[in-house]
Amino acid sequence: TSTPAEAPAGDKQAPAGEEQGGTDADADKPADKDGEVKVAFITQSLSNASQAYAWTQFQKYADDYGFTVTVFEEDYDAQNGVAAIGTCIAQGYTAICINPTDPSAMIPSFMEAQEAGIIVGMYSSEVPEGNEKYRDFMCGTDDYMAGEVAAQTLMEEFPDGVKVVQVGGQSGHSAQIKRNDGFVDTIKDTNITLLDSKDCGAWASEDAMAIMEDFIVAYGDEIQAVYCHWDVGATGCIEALKNAGMDDVYVIGVDGCSVGYDQVIEGTQALSIGQSFSQMTQDAFDNITKIMKGEDFDEVVWTKLDIVTKDTVNDFPYPEW
């Protein structure tokens, strides 16, 4: 039997007082352990297809960068994320890429991780304003932007104003909250009227469908557009509209997954706002490499959102998830 492996890198080398990882001083640090660079991907939930796909991207690019990658799942419970970061510290990980259920809840853990010399990267999500110092970088698109894009598209598409309903994701989840806030903040003082807005109990298309059906009863033909927080939920909305014989409603979904693409191609969904996880992952890996080498890096790397409509759908590779 083996004796326990060497004590975690962070544990040994991080005296309590040390401040802030990710600077030049730490450059040599992670590589010391038989050259293995361990990167953790901490995600809200692997039951969520987008996150499961993002994880495949981590695995795909890990070899190119010489990383070993592991995934941790929060299962939509921030406590699990905190526990995962603890494990990463114990195991001496080099870097963490995290897409947390609740970013603000992670700040204390980020402090610890940095104390232990671990590179902390936000992935597809940003920390609350004013807390930027607790993470080393952020890659991807924030869900808030998805909401903004949805609102902007509506403004372009309906310059004379439009009546829209919003079908939210699971109540209380960061994606739902940000996609909502981005949208609501942007349409303020515009000629877009938000007729009604409701969240789901879970990320379940039947929930979205039920809400949409009730919207149809309540508002009927007034509804000109639907903003649904995720493409699979949009499927439910589309089914509800189909059943009600309302074919000309402008449906917006977020995710850019294959379901969304299909619907855009079929013409039932007008717009899917996609995120390129492969790009995001590469950006994150680039940043980690740069930080390890002590090179300059961009603290925030925005990944462009894919605006997938019938006209642009062929510009993007068909998503693998």
Partner 1 sequence: MKRDISARFTRSLRNNLVLVGIIALIVVTAIIEPKFISSANLTNVMRQLWPLPFIALGMTFVIIGGFIDLSVVGMISLSGVVAASLINPLGQVGAILSGILLGGMMGYLNGFVLTTVGAMIQAEVLFITFGMSSIYTAIALLLTNAETLRIARSTKPYNIFTALGSGTVGMIPVVLIVFLVILVIMHLFYKKTLAGRSISLMGGNKEAAFLTGYNVKRSMRLVYTISGIMSGMGAVSLVSRVTTATATSGIGYETNAILCVVVGGTSLKGGKGSVIRTMLGVLLVVLLGNCMNLLGLSTFMQTVMRGAVLVIAIWLDNRREL
Partner 2 sequence: MNIKIASQRVWGTISKQGAVLAILVLMIMMLFFKTNFYTAYNWLDMLRSAAILEIVAFGVTVAVICGGCDLSVGGTLSFGGIAAILLINIGFPIWLAIIIAVLGGAFVGFINGFLVVHQKTEPFIITLGMGMLLKGVCQVLTDAHPLPSKVPAFMEISNSKFFASIPSLVVYMVILFAAFHYLMRYTSFGRNCYAIGGNYEVAEYSGIKVIPTKWAAFIISGATAALAGVLLASRMNTGSSVYGDNTGMLVNCGVVIGGTSFAGGVGGIRESFIGLFVIQILINCMSMLGLDSYYQKLFEGILIVTIIGLDCFFRMRKRESV
Enumerate binding residues for partner 2 (CB under 8 A): 1-2, 4-5, 7-8, 11, 16, 46, 70-73, 75-80, 82-84, 86-87, 89-92, 101-102, 104-108, 111, 128, 171-174, 176-177, 199
Annotate 254-292 with b (16+ C-beta within 10 A) or e (fewer).
bbbbebbbbbbeeebbbbbbbbbbbbbbbbbbbbbbebb
DSSP three-state, residue 167: strand
Nearer to partner 1, 118 or 238 (CB): 238
By CB under 8 A, is residue 198 in contact with partner 1?
yes
Closest CA to 253 of 183, 188, 301, 159: 183
Nearer to partner 1, 40 or 240 (CB): 240
Q: Which stretch binds partner 1 (CB under 8 A): 60-68, 84-92, 253-261, 292-300?
A: 253-261
By CB under 8 A, is residue 321 in contact with partner 1?
yes
Q: Rounded to 10 degrees, what is the CA torsion of 11, 12, 16, 21?
A: -80
Q: Is 56 exposed, middle or buried (0-12, 13-18, 19+ CB in 10 A)?
A: middle
d(CA 287, CA 46): 24
Nearer to partner 2, 153 or 174 (CB): 174
107: partner contacted, choices partner 1, partner 2, none (Cβ within 5-8 A by kind): partner 2
d(CA 313, CA 193): 28
The residue type at 90: A
184: partner contacted, choices partner 2, partner 1, none (Cβ within 5-8 A by kind): none
Nearest approach, Cβ of 50 to partner 1 (angstroms)? 9
Token pair 């730490």: residue: 26
Among 17, 35, 64, 217, binds partner 1 (CB under 8 A): 217
Q: Which stretch binds partner 1 (CB under 8 A): 11-19, 27-35, 230-238, 306-314?
A: 230-238
Among 80, 125, 174, 205, binds partner 1 (CB under 8 A): 205
Q: What tokens does 244 get?
A: 């009600």
- 111-170 residues in contact with partner 1 (CB under 8 A) are 168
Phi and psi at 268, nearest 5°, equal: -85, -25
The residue type at 101: T
Going from the C-alpha of 94 to that of each of 18, 52, 140, 239, 276, the distances in angstroms are: 16, 22, 20, 46, 24
Among 5, 66, 202, 312, binds partner 1 (CB under 8 A): 202
- List, as one string, the DSSP characters of 49-103: HHHHHHHHHHHHHHHHHTEEEEEEE-TT-HHHHHHHHHHHHHTT-SEEEEE-S-H
How many residues contact partner 1, by CB under 8 A? 42
Nearer to partner 1, 131 or 197 (CB): 197
Nearest approach, Cβ of 82 to partner 1 (angstroms)? 22
By CB under 8 A, is residue 211 in contact with partner 1?
yes
By CB under 8 A, is residue 235 in contact with partner 1?
yes
Binding site for partner 1 (CB under 8 A): 46-49, 51-53, 168, 171, 196, 198-206, 209-211, 213-218, 220, 232, 235-236, 239, 242-244, 257-259, 262, 266, 321
